[in-house]
Amino acid sequence: MEAVLTKIDKSSDLYEISTTPIQDRKNRTTLIGDLLTELITQDADDNFNMSWFNTIINSSKVSKFAKTDIRNLFLEYQKKYETEQKPFAFSELIFKLMNCNDVFRIFEDRLPEEVLEESDIDDSVVSTCRIWSDCIYNNLDLYSDFYDEQTKDQTFINILLHKIQSEPDDYRYKLVLYCIG
């Protein structure tokens, strides 16, 4: 016999069976993967169709709270889509969807030292940048199911661009982008 947690809505006689934390995490990474694939595809076509995202969100197996939270991220992006803020909003949306700031904190000590002159970029700096970017890139799979390398590559670049935008005084992220680009 297995204990099962349920959430009962007495006003509608509906109940929702809670899943295990492991299954919740898997459902979330699947949803994020589906959303990123669609988002990057639509962006390549210079399009944004909120109804497609709603369909993906509604059909997912994450909690209602998570659906609302994710839907709000897309609604916030939709407001910025037709403005000059679109490129910044796009990378911000990807960063918020991934919710992976902890992986940046974990590998922060592996970031290269700041280099302010291009002439100071040597093989060791490039190597350090590549090692750091590999650490981040390889751990993105903890946050999303990626169905192709293009989506993962675009996600990584946009997360890095968001870090550059949100931390403009930290030149190390710019240095990484320069060295791996």
Choose between 154 and 82: higher pLDDT.
154
**Does residue 45 sit within a domain?**
yes
What is the arithmetic mean of pLDDT over 139-161?
97
User: Among candidates 28, 21, 74, which has minimal Cα distance to 49?
Assistant: 74
Q: Give every CB contact of residue 93 below 8 A, 6+ residues apart in sequence.
A: 39, 73, 74, 76, 77
Asked whether 132 and 176 are in contact (CB, 8 A), the reply is yes
**Does residue 61 sit within a domain?**
yes
Task: Determine the pLDDT at residue 154.
Answer: 97
**Does residue 6 sit within a domain?**
no
**Does residue 113 sit within a domain?**
yes
Task: Determine the pLDDT at residue 20.
Answer: 63
Helices (H), 45-63: 50-59
Tens digit of pLDDT for each residue in 93-106? 999 999 999 999 99
Chain position carrying tokens 């995202």? 53
For residue 8, what are the β-bridge partners? 15
Structurally, the chain folds into a number of domains equal to 1
Residue 171 exposure: Cα atoms within 13 Å on the Cβ side: 7
Task: Determine the pLDDT at residue 97.
Answer: 97
**Does residue 13 sit within a domain?**
no
Which domain range does residue 106 map to? 20-181
**Does residue 104 sit within a domain?**
yes
Tens digit of pLDDT for each residue in 40-76? 999 999 999 999 999 999 999 999 999 999 999 999 9
Record the pTM: 0.85
Residue 181 predicted with pLDDT over 90:
no
Tens digit of pLDDT for each residue in 5-44? 445 445 555 555 555 667 788 999 999 999 999 999 999 9
CB count within 10 Å of CB 76 equals 14
Residue 115 predicted with pLDDT over 80:
yes
Asked whether 32 and 73 are in contact (CB, 8 A), the reply is no
**Does residue 1 sit within a domain?**
no
**Does residue 165 sit within a domain?**
yes
Mean confidence (pLDDT) of the chain? 89
For residue 17, what are the β-bridge partners? 6
Task: List the structure tokens of 158.
Answer: 């946009």
Residue type (1 letter), 29? T
